[in-house]
Amino acid sequence: MNIKIDSKEFDKRQTRLIEEIAHDIKSRLEEMGLGTDQELVESLMFDIGAILDGSRVMDLDGKQLRPFLMFADDIKGEQLISSGDGSWIHEVSGDIVTKIFGDEPSA
């Protein structure tokens, strides 16, 4: 397994991941008849992002638990793309959610 440090490519993939998660949250709220509340989706994305980024303090067996996000660059996962410094989902998720809500036609 090889790790390639490429923050630009990582950011592109991270952005796409955030878009997918936010869209699914929004769709699930609609399916459940809860409407679509942009502030709620932003808040959920921020919290999920903080967990995935390791920004939320977590521990396991008395040791810090910090996820480190990487993306497979090939189908076998032999080449991984890393930012070299973890992810920053919680920092950018609000802007991406705003874009998702803004891209939809008004009712």
pLDDT by residue (tens digit) across 37-83? 888 888 888 999 889 888 888 999 999 988 889 999 988 889 999 99
Number of compact structural domains in the chain: 1
Cβ neighbour number for residue 37 with a 10 Å cutoff: 13
Residue 103 has pLDDT above 80, yes or no: no
Q: How high is the pLDDT of residue 102?
A: 83
The whole domain housing 60 covers: 2-101
> For residue 102, what are its two tokens?
């803004």
Helix or strand or coil: residue 103? coil
Give φ, ψ of 12 to 5 degrees. Answer: -60, -45
Predicted local distance difference test score (pLDDT) of residue 105: 47
Question: What's the mean pLDDT when you consider all of the chain?
Answer: 87
Q: Which residues pair with 60 in a beta bridge?
A: 63
How far is Cα 105 from Cα 101, in angstroms, rounded to an integer?
A: 9
Tell whether 106 is covered by a domain.
no
Please give the model's pTM, rounded to 2 decimal places: 0.80
Q: Cα dihedral sign for 32, 104, 46, 51?
A: positive
